[in-house]
Structure formats: structure tokens, C-alpha cells
Structure 1
Amino acid sequence: MCLRLFNVYGPGQHPSFLVPYVISCLVHQQPLVLRMPEALRDFIYVADVVTALEQAAQLTVPGFHIFNIGSGQAVQVMELVQLAESVFGAAVEWEIASAESGELTTMIADIRQAQQVLNWTPQVSLREGLLQIHAQWALAQDPA
């Protein structure tokens, strides 16, 4: 069995990944450098990935299976930035850097196989995931 994870995000993720990078720039009021602001990506919250892994571990259907684990929703990178700005109540300046050669402009998961065979569907929207990250960030900022 193979689970192909798309853009997983969640609390505690390394800042080299896009979602924590955007959030870090917002909370530290630093300029954001994007390679492909128009690119379409599929963001999946870590709790939904855990559920998919649990469902896969319980699978009793014989044979080799490949499952795409993502939201199945296209989100433009700039939409992610705007949504994060809304959730964190901050705005960030941004600039475009040159894209890496061969980088895909669109990467969206076809999750139908996971829905049908694993009986799995993501439950956490991008907005809700960002709100959960914000809540944990706010708790970490509270000195009490």
C-alpha cells in the first residue's frame, strides 16, 4: 500500500514548509518571498492525514493500493496567504522570486480512491486548520 501525501500542514511543522513560512512572516512582520504565487496546491491538515493512516492500517482489501491523501481542493498560493492574513489579523508584504526549474504549477490530489476504498474524507478545511494553528500560537504567546 502507498499513501501519497500532498501538502501536509499543522502545528509544530518545520518553518521551511509553505504554511509555517507564511505564518512566521505574518507574526514576525517580515516580507514574504514567493516563487509561484499563482500555483495551485492541495493543503491537507495533519489530523486528516492521521485518520487516513489509521483507515489504511485497518484495510483488509487484498492487493496493492495507491491512495492520494489531500483535500482534493485547489488553492492558489496567494489565496493561502490572504486566508492566513485574515486568520492571524496581520498583513505581509511579499515579492516574487524566480521559480525553480521544473516546479509544477498545479498539484491537486484526486482522493476518490481513498474515499471509496478507505472510506476516508478530509474533515478540516484550510481555514479551520489555520484557525487551529492560530489558537495554538496564541496559547504559546500567553505568558500566564
Structure 2
Amino acid sequence: MTVASRLHIQRVVLASSSSVYGATDGCPSRETDRPGPLSPYAVTKLAAEQLCLAHAARPDTTTSVIALRYFTVYGPRQRPDMLIHRVLTAALRQTPLHVFGNGLQQRDFTHVDDVVRATIAASHTPTANTVINIGAGCSTPISDVLDIAHRLTGRPVPVARAGARAGDVPATLADITRAGDLLGWKPEVSLADGMEQQLRYLKESG
């Protein structure tokens, strides 16, 4: 933020994460909810938000900030350690997918195309110095992700159970009201369509 101010950059869009909310009761997470990060990663994301917002609040800065709390982003070029990449690869190769914990976790999966649109919108909105959720606005169980992968590939996903991971929360779900109000944004890519797009990319890239 200091460098951005020195260069007279008007807007910084910070990539934050839904992980700042920590464990929830399954209800939609709102930006006004008290954060409860459960992992070092989540703590760093919350700290980055606070640092940027504190700097933007200084009277001598001309740089404003929008922190976008992304919810479980997926799509082409996704990191290979992320869930949907692992699910599709397991189905294609018929290799075991390690499912951590009880397998009942639910996630608000957000396609990368929707994330890009939201990020561009955040760079232009007149609203400044706030946080905004970016998610699909619906929570999908891992079992449904496996079913979609089975349907798309024509192959079942072999599953191997593994112990729960520290810091892993049972469910994420975004309240995306603020994104609609401030950015004029709403998600457009369904999970099934997004997974089909990611599957095509995996096949084409070998």
C-alpha cells in the first residue's frame, strides 16, 4: 500500500479468502460477521485486509482498497492440490482420491471466470475501503462434486478416506448481497458447467 500511494495508484484490490470466517454454523457468512481464522493461512489473509484498510484510512493516502473474500475458487489451471482438480484427475486416471475427515464438508465453489469479473468490477467501483464476499451463494457437499465428476467423465471417483486436516472447516457459504449492491455482480457459471470446462482443459493439456 505504501508503494501504491507513492505511485499515486488510486485502487488496490486485495485477494482475501473466505477462510477468515473460520468455522461457521452453515449459515451464509456476511462481511460484518466476526472473523475466526483457524489456520496460519487464514490469519495472514485477515492481517493483510487489516493492514491495507488501516493504510487506506490514513489522511495522507490517495490509494483506496477493496478486499475480496474469495470462496473456493476453481477452474482451468487450478493448482493440482485443490479439490476439484484432484476429483477430476482421480476420475480420469482411476486413482484414489483422498477425502479428508468425514467427507460431509460443504463448500461454496466459485468459478474463476466469475472471480475475474468481480475483481475487475472492484477496481472501478466508487465504493472504497471495505471487504466484499465473492462466492456462488450456494454450498455444495463433496459427495455432489463426486457425482458431477462421475457424470462428466463416465467413471466413478475412487475414494480413500484420510484423517481430518487441521484448520479445515465443515462448511462455507457466502452472503453475496454486498457484491450485488456495490459491484453490480452476480455469479454466472454453475458448478456443473465450470467442472465441465475444467475437465476439457485437463484433457487438452494432457
Normalised by the length of structure 1, the TM-score is 0.91
Letter in 2 for 1:139: E
- Which residue is 1:31 aligned to? 96
Whole-angstrom CA distance in 2 between matches of 1:48 and 1:67: 14
- Which residue is 2:172 aligned to? 107
- Which residue is 2:200 aligned to? 135
After the TM superposition, which residues 1-144 of structure 1 pair with which residues of structure 2 at under 5 Å, given as runs?
1-36=66-101, 37-61=103-127, 63-140=128-205
Whole-angstrom CA distance in 1 between matches of 2:77 and 2:205: 11
- Please list every run of 5 or more consecutive structure 2 residues that lacks an aligned counterpart in the other structure: 1-65
Identity across the alignment (%) = 32
Q: Which moved more, 1:102-111 or 1:121-130?
A: 102-111
- Please list every run of 5 or more consecutive structure 1 residues that lacks an aligned counterpart in the other structure: none
Whole-angstrom CA distance in 2 between matches of 1:12 and 1:103: 23
Whole-angstrom CA distance in 2 between matches of 1:31 and 1:140: 21
Whole-angstrom CA distance in 2 between matches of 1:64 and 1:14: 30
Deviations 1:56-92 (A, max 9, x none): 011112x421111110111001111111111121112
| Higher relative contact order, chain-length normalized (CA < 8 Å, sep 6+) | 1
Aligned length: 140
For residue 25 of structure 1, report the CA deviation from its aligned partner: 0.8
- On the 8 A contact 2:74/2:109 being kept in 1, the answer is yes
Whole-angstrom CA distance in 2 between matches of 1:137 and 1:43: 18
For residue 7 of structure 1, report the CA deviation from its aligned partner: 0.5
| CA RMSD across the alignment | 1.4
Q: Which moved more, 1:29-38 or 1:93-102?
A: 93-102
- Structure exhibiting the larger radius of gyration computed from Cα positions: 2
